[in-house]
């Protein structure tokens, strides 16, 4: 196990009607004015936005609001939010939604105190040294942004989809998590969220770091919990306990718990970021295509941990042939994804003729000569994984 620092200051407020506590929680943070950030009209139609405003008003906390954040969040909305936040002099970002809204709020939080271009943080030209506090009311369990210091934004002009990780400044100060808010999610969106959280775990699980039994077992158990509860929620979308377990799994998947002491991989996410940046597909659906292709490649080139995943998570019988065992695990994962209504190849994702050369060139231009850590992928390797996703 490697040395590590684990810092997770977020206060999680979980359960029914917890959104009504937002005013008291904002006051606890000494917030003077809250900037509410949200996406489409669902938070308005459901009455959630009004409940939040009422709670803030009753607590004596001022607020302003910015809607219109889109899936695969873009830099232009961040620039708009930075300007608006400065004008309104808000001191706490409150994201109501899923990963796209939360990631946008984090980017604004980092950009407001910074004199330069917030994109400097995402391309590595500058480090975040100061940020506004961020808080969350989660409506889509998927990205795990409610418990992480991560943010992913796409730059419109260059179609670069890049991530930022600043756990010491961008982890939310509090996250409100009411599973009832997820009842109305369409089945496809629920499934995409499940794929996203599973891959967050797998990016940490597929590691070469030795003697990480606790991390391995946490990853395996959480993956098995996700799969079990996914079947339940597929059959009964209003099953509170299934929704609650899935929601908490999404947080555990990405708040760092599953990866302590490990060298993490993240190649699958980087490969997918290029796909969703270029073709604007849903991130979780893109991962359902890319991850089985990445695992198939690894079954031939580096099968040890893929085979362990197959045996421990999907109950594939143990065999001396690691590649055969690994491929059986990939087959069962694809079967699960298909059952949940997810695509497992480019055609099913709606991309009939993906520009593999462009995807590969952009990936290595953004990430360098090698991508990932479980096996450092060359340009040739990355291109082969994209081909395996056809």
Q: What is the mean pLDDT of residues 298-324?
A: 97
Please name the helix (run of DSSP H) or strand (run of DSSP E) that holds residue 227, with its range, or none: helix 213-235
Closest-CA residue to 285 (of 220, 338, 208)? 338
**Could you tell me the domains of the chain?**
11-181 (3.40.50.1970), 185-389 (1.20.1090.10)
| 159-203 tens-digit pLDDT | 999 999 999 999 999 999 999 999 999 999 999 999 999 999 999
Strands 150-155 and 160-165: antiparallel
**Can you tell me the distance from the alpha carbon of 293 to that of 287, in angstroms, rounded to the nearest whole number?**
10
Per residue in 105-114, pLDDT (tens digit) is 999 999 999 9
Q: What percentage of the chain has pLDDT greater than the value 70?
A: 100
What pLDDT, on the 0 to 100 scale, is given for residue 40? Answer: 84
Q: Assess whether pLDDT exceeds 90 at residue 41.
A: no
What mean pLDDT do residues 372-380 have? 98
- Predicted TM-score (pTM) of this structure: 0.95
Spatial distance between the Cα atoms of 341 and 190, rounded to a whole number of angstroms: 10
Q: How confident is the model at residue 368 (pLDDT cuts 50, 70, 90)?
A: very high
Residues in a beta bridge with 135 = 94, 174
As a whole number of angstroms, the distance between CA 110 and CA 115 comes to 10
Q: What is the DSSP string of 91-140?
A: -EEEEEESHHHHHHHHHHHHHTT-SS-THHHHTTSS------EEEEEESS
pLDDT tens sequence across 109-143 = 999 999 999 999 999 999 999 999 999 999 999 99
Residues 214-248 as b/e (b if ≥16 CB within 10 A, e otherwise) read: ebbebbbbbbeebbebbeebbeebebeebbbbbbb
- Does the pLDDT at position 263 exceed 90? yes
């Amino acid at each position: 196990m490697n040395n590590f620092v684990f810092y997770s200051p977020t206060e999680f407020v979980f359960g029914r009607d917890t959104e009504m506590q937002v005013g008291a929680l904002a006051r606890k943070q000494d917030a003077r004015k809250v900037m509410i950030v949200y996406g489409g009209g669902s938070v308005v139609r459901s009455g959630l936005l009004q409940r939040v405003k009422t709670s803030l008003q009753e607590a004596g906390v001022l607020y302003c609001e910015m809607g219109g954040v889109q899936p695969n969040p873009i830099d232009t909305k961040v620039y708009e939010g930075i300007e608006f936040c400065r004008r309104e002099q808000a001191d706490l970002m409150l994201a109501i939604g899923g990963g796209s809204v939360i990631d946008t709020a984090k980017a604004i939080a980092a950009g407001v105190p910074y004199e330069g271009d917030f994109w400097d943080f995402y391309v590595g030209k500058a480090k975040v040294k100061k940020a506004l506090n961020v808080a969350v009311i989660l409506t889509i369990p998927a990205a795990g942004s409610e418990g992480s210091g991560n943010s992913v934004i796409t730059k419109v002009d260059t179609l670069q989809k890049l991530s930022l990780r600043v756990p010491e400044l961008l982890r939310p100060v509090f996250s409100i998590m009411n599973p009832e808010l997820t009842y109305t999610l369409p089945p496809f969106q629920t499934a995409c969220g499940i794929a996203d959280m599973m891959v967050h775990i797998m990016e940490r699980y597929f590691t070469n770091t030795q003697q990480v039994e606790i991390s391995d077992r946490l990853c395996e158990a959480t993956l098995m919990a996700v799969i079990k509860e996914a079947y339940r929620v597929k059959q009964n979308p209003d099953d509170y306990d299934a929704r609650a377990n899935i929601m908490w799994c999404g947080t555990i998947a990405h708040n760092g718990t599953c990866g302590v002491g490990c060298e993490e991989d993240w190649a699958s996410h980087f490969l997918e970021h290029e796909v969703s940046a270029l073709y604007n597909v849903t991130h979780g659906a893109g991962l359902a295509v890319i991850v089985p292709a990445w695992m198939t490649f690894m079954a031939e080139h580096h099968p040890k941990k893929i085979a362990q995943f197959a045996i421990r998570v999907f109950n594939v019988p143990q065999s001396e042939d690691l590649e055969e065992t690994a491929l059986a695990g990939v087959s069962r994962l694809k079967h699960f994804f298909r059952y949940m209504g997810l695509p497992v190849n480019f055609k099913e994702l709606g991309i009939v003729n993906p520009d593999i050369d462009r995807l590969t060139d952009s990936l290595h231009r953004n990430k360098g000569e090698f991508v990932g850590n479980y096996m450092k992928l060359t340009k040739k390797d990355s291109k082969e994984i994209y081909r395996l996703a056809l």
